[in-house]
A and B are shown apart, each in its own frame.
Chain A
Amino acid sequence: MDKLINDLKVQIIAQLNLQDIKPEDIADDQPLFIEGLGLDSIDALELIVLLQQQYKIKLSNPSDGPKVFYSVKTMAEYITANQS
């Protein structure tokens, strides 16, 4: 799980072009949206693409997004649960 969390941080930074942020700047439990990193709806869509491209998981219902993408930890948990 730790490796997945770390990989995710690197991938999120790249996908969202968060130029001034390093993986160690993102806490595992930190909210990604609104507060915390302050990501928005376009970023949510980018994260959906990230899930598909890197983990072959399709999030077909965007309204599941807020739960899945709440933090890096929740993303990692979702990936672990859904990867066959």
Chain B
Amino acid sequence: MQSPVLIAGLGIISAIGNNTSENITALENGIAGMGDIIYLNSIHRQKIPVAEVKMSNEELAGRSGLSSQISRTALLGTIAAEEAFNDSGIRGLANTRIGFVSANTVGGMDKTEQFFSEFLTNPQKGRLRDVVHHECGSITEIIAEKLGISNFVTTISTACSSSANAIIYAARLIKNNILDAVVAGGADALTKFTLNGFNTLMILDSDACKPFDENRKGLNLGEGAAYVVLVSGSLIAKLKKDPYCKLSGYCNANDAFHQTASSPEGEGSFLAMQGALKNSGLNPRDIDYINLHGTGTQNNDISEGIAIKRLFGPVYPKMSSTKSFTGHTLGASGSVEAVLSALSVKHGMVYPNLRFDTPMQGLPFAPETKFSKNEPIEHVLSNSFGFGGNCSSLIFSKN
């Protein structure tokens, strides 16, 4: 009989708050995190809105205990992972097999970009310490070292579903009795590379995004980090603490339609959600709230919307996209939304989908526009769909 997987700790840093309680406060008060570029040195300043974490690298370094010369991704990741680890109560527990599974898409690209400017003028130029942590895995190792976890550390990178896949992998490590607890999630800092990359795809909104709205114009890039601490059933008993919730189901599927676009019938999204329901033994009508992937692009939103119509129709749960607050945090988005979903189960919170006016044509449902708490939330579904057709869904349930 496989162990249940419980969530014992949470940590998050995003454009709307530097820790869990700040994020909740912003969500409750409808305060979004997107605006003009503050920290990134890009020509797109004052042209493209982004959702940056409101701390400079020096401030993040002070908070994380790392050098300000280290990649911003590592700084953000460390802060969120430490919050989650400390929150969980498993830190320092003897005879406990603990692992760390982290995700990111950019690795240390923020420093590599700086290196490359000089390197391109002369191959002997550029500071090597700016590229030594270029790799995604290297960033994970910096955070793991801070947590004091050295055995069983790995990194996943599957575009926007990365940290959802990290959480799935971590859960399976526990279910397969390889580990007792795993700190799982992801981090991504805003970089010129990603900002310009997404700009070439012409899917960035020049205003604050409007997910799931008929007149949506694109996404806002964000940055952040978030981690959950997953523990086995026997470990939660030992901890004598109430978990936030249970990770009751998950599924990883692939759209296999196009490298960047989602299929019109939302096949990958449909399979991921359906698979997660099957995995958890739940029916669509058991879901009380869907935390949408909801980036705000023309293509993503209708694809996800149609998949929801196919799976849930004619009765739909409440739903919203918290990317309307945090922006799209790429590799961190799966875990950012996992943290918010876990909090939703714990406190009965349903988050509003900001700036929503007009339902998408052809979809007989609309997202929530008001924040509420103490709702009877039993099961929450969280979606993360990425480039390469990588679609993952997670289900969080009351324990």
Contacts and interface: CB of A to CB of B under 8 A. Distances in A.
- State yes or no: do A and B touch (Cβ within 8 Å): yes
Interface in B224-265: 258-261
B51 to A, nearest CB: 23
Interface string B172-213: 000000000000000000000000000011100000000000
Q: A interface, how many residues as a size bin?
A: under 10
A48 B201 CA distance: 10
Contacts of B258: 40-41
A15 to B, nearest CB: 13
Nearest to A59: B202
A45 B200 contact: yes
A58 to B, nearest CB: 12
Interface string A47-64: 011000000000000100
A1 interface: no
Contacts of A40: 258
A41 B200 contact: no
A42 interface: yes
Contacts of B261: 41
B202 A49 contact: no
A42 B257 CA distance: 13
A45 B259 contact: no
A48 B260 CA distance: 17
Contacts of A42: 259-260
Contacts of A48: 202
Interface residues of B, number: 7
A24 B104 CA distance: 45
Contacts of B202: 45, 48, 62
Contacts of A41: 258, 260-261
Nearest to A48: B202
A40 B258 CA distance: 9
- Residue of B202, B259, B261 with highest tally of chain A CB at under 10 A: B202
B205 to A, nearest CB: 13
Contacts of B259: 42
A49 B260 CA distance: 18
Nearest to B202: A62
A79 to B, nearest CB: 20
Interface string A22-45: 000000000000000000111001
A23 to B, nearest CB: 26
Nearest to A63: B298
Nearest to B201: A45
Contacts of B200: 45, 49
A45 B259 CA distance: 14
A55 to B, nearest CB: 18
A42 B197 CA distance: 12
A7 to B, nearest CB: 23
A62 B202 CA distance: 8
A42 B260 CA distance: 8
B296 to A, nearest CB: 15
Nearest to B299: A41
A34 to B, nearest CB: 13
B397 to A, nearest CB: 38
B206 to A, nearest CB: 10
A48 B202 CA distance: 10
A56 to B, nearest CB: 18
A62 B259 CA distance: 19
A40 B260 CA distance: 11
Nearest to B200: A45
A40 B201 CA distance: 13
B368 to A, nearest CB: 30
A40 to B, nearest CB: 7
A28 to B, nearest CB: 27
A76 B122 CA distance: 40
A36 to B, nearest CB: 18
A48 B200 CA distance: 10
Given A48-B202, A62-B202, 6 more contacts: A41-B258, A41-B260, A41-B261, A42-B260, A45-B200, A45-B201
Interface of B: 200-202, 258-261
12 contacts: A40-B258, A41-B258, A41-B260, A41-B261, A42-B259, A42-B260, A45-B200, A45-B201, A45-B202, A48-B202, A49-B200, A62-B202
For the complex of A and B, list the 5 residue pairs with the smallest distance between their C-beta atoms, beginning with the closest.
A62-B202, A41-B261, A45-B200, A45-B202, A45-B201
